[in-house]
Copies of this chain bind each other. A is one copy, B any other.
Amino acid sequence: MDNISNLFNVKYPIVQGGMIWCSGWELASAVSNAGGLGLIGAGSMYPGVLKDHIKKCKVATSKPFGVNVPLLYPQTDEIIDIIIREGVNIVFTSAGNPAKYTSLLKENGIIVVHVVANSKFALKAQSAGVDAIVAEGFEAGGHNGYEETTTMVLIPMLKEIVNIPVIAAGGIGSGMSVYAAMALGASGVQIGSLFAGSLESSAHDNFKQEIINSGDGSTYLTLKQLVPVRLIRNKFFERVHKAVLEGRSKEELSEILGRGRAKLGMFEGDIDEGELEIGQVAATINEIKPVKKIMDELISEFNATAGRMKNYTQL
């Protein structure tokens, strides 16, 4: 089967997104132990903290795991150096130029995947020599593309122009949508929100509860003048978004946004004043579950969908 299980040497073509404040060694190792690919999210870690999480992850699982690195922090060189020295062999890069680190990582025998949201960066990533891309749709949580292309449109569009595997992200909340993504041409999926709300996620319980409470329209993409980000519509969101609607300048928006808001909300649990990054699919998450149960359900839902779709051998 043409899927990413072989590329990563894992049982299921399911990657857990390396999310800030959620994806520590506990989450990554739990996903890898359950047969998926767990990712440590370096985006919210100082280099020393990342090193510690990698070491603990190695103890907690004998299965492959990786690290997600947003390429926009000043400490990226140091982060990449730690990853290489610790012998991590899978790296997902995001939010930056894939040309910058791909060769170095590949020279060190590391499998490299880059996250994109449009065709320009898909082609750039392919040229940089990555092994696969994550194609992240508009419905995904957190930072997002300017084009606002949804998963349903993005996957077939990118599949058409690249010849490396495309991993679908954004809106994947059940085994049914894993199956749908693969029907669209994806070789696997990256799932964020479901795992952000899992038992092993290092996010604060208050944030997990907000994920459970989310419904239709609870999240919204805002701050498009800076970097578009999908957030839960809490008190902080409404203040920021009001400023956006009033047409405030980038500088004013940056000031209202302030610093450390994601940590405040997602890690410290201030659900009113923190920045709560989650995908639209939170609307369908109703329980905080252990990773093993989430994975088991994904697999059985996928298989049930495959069974149901057997009836449609042809139209």
Contacts and interface: CB of A to CB of B under 8 A. Distances in A.
Copies in the complex: 2
A171 interface: yes
Contacts of A101: none
B153 A281 contact: yes
A280 interface: yes
Contact of A306 (B175, B182, B245, B309): B309
A185 interface: yes
Contact of A180 (B175, B184, B225, B299): B184
A174 B183 CA distance: 11
B299 A306 contact: no
Interface in A110-157: 118-120, 137-139, 146-153, 156-157
A206 interface: no
B138 A283 contact: no
Contact of A147 (B217, B309, B313, B314): B217
A107 interface: no
B138 A13 contact: no
A3 to B, nearest CB: 8
Contacts of A149: 139, 216-217, 280, 283
